[in-house]
Structure 1
Amino acid sequence: MREQSAWDDRSMWDGLVDGQQGAFTALVRRYTDTLYDYGMRLCTDEELVKDCVQEVFLFIWRRRQYLQQPVSLKFYLMKAVRNKIGRELPKWQMKEQLQESEYQFPDFFIELDEQTATPPAVRKRLKSYIDQLSPRQREILYLRFYEGLRQQKIAEMMNLNHQSVYNLLRGALVALKKKVDYETLIAYWCFFFVLLSFS
């Protein structure tokens, strides 16, 4: 039997389509934590997020013979989880269905890496500035700087046009720049430079 680490995304997908249980297991093990982490940034209901991640995996297994191989498996799964949570969130909250044009997630959470050399007080201020951004701006910052997605992929993920993504991302960065003092500004630019260098 093939070791879990031996599966790359392409062979994992091919094995999945062929009905290989090992490929499906490798897929679940590789991406569960990533999808759960992303889902918890969209909403704070842990059970909802777990259910949605599980449902996405089950859907892929059941429909595997009819699915096209995605260009990016990680992106495909993240978008599927985002869409699933967006559909299920109003039901779990026992509220009226949100209109398709409305933004579906009232909050989006970003944590700053405590392992960086940024002083805790500066990191705390930067976090407070990020928290003042809109949920859409925070999600775009996360997708761009944490997940390394390009603007075209972000637009597809969030069902926005390219110009809207550009405007929201630029607006978020300008808003942060206006709020921060010099010390935080230096830490802020270093923080995003480090994130970009690894994306």
Structure 2
Amino acid sequence: MSITYLWSREFLAKRLILWLLFISNALGTIYGYIWYGDQLRYTATYHPWWQLPFVPDSPTASLFFSIALLLLLYPPKKLSGWVLQPLIEALAVVTSVKYGIWACAMIFAGAYQGNDMIWQDWMLIGSHSAMAIEALIYVKLFHIRWTALTAAIAWTLLNDTVDYTFGVFPWLPAQLNDDLAMVEAFTLALTLFSGLLTWIAVKRAFLAKSRSKTDLP
């Protein structure tokens, strides 16, 4: 068996693989919301209620990806499902790539400025790297359209705006609190970069699918 088979459409679409990924992402999502528990309680106490959904960025990204996997396992039959599925998939890819990279960058930036790294930091680096990688790999099975991708980028930019306008961004290592303007600029730029990377991945997947159909006898 060739190593390339492991990221082929045939392998990635196997129900066993989809279920294993769904379970691991669902568990990671639950853990992520628990991880944000203190910040959610703080936000609920000192901020308007409508800002709460903008607090847990990474677990919401993995939630989108978990739902996208579930839609691959049980494709929607109604027209409304075909409208929502591309949007959920676009949100899954854009936010998973964005927050996967963002979390790793913040951990390393904090460590560079003197924050002590513990085992949980390395666990977060591993899990967030996996978020970004799996999202880009599964683009080839998704149904992302440019309208859905545009909406996903717009939502993520809105999330960034709320985070840094109202101070509900993910809590940072203390060493980065005096670099907030730079963190905000990096975050906004990363959203656009993640959208671009998703668009490139979608185009590559479309071209590869078109070539495979052309090669058929």
TM-score (norm 2): 0.30
More helix by share: 2
Higher relative contact order (CA 8 A, sep 6+): 2
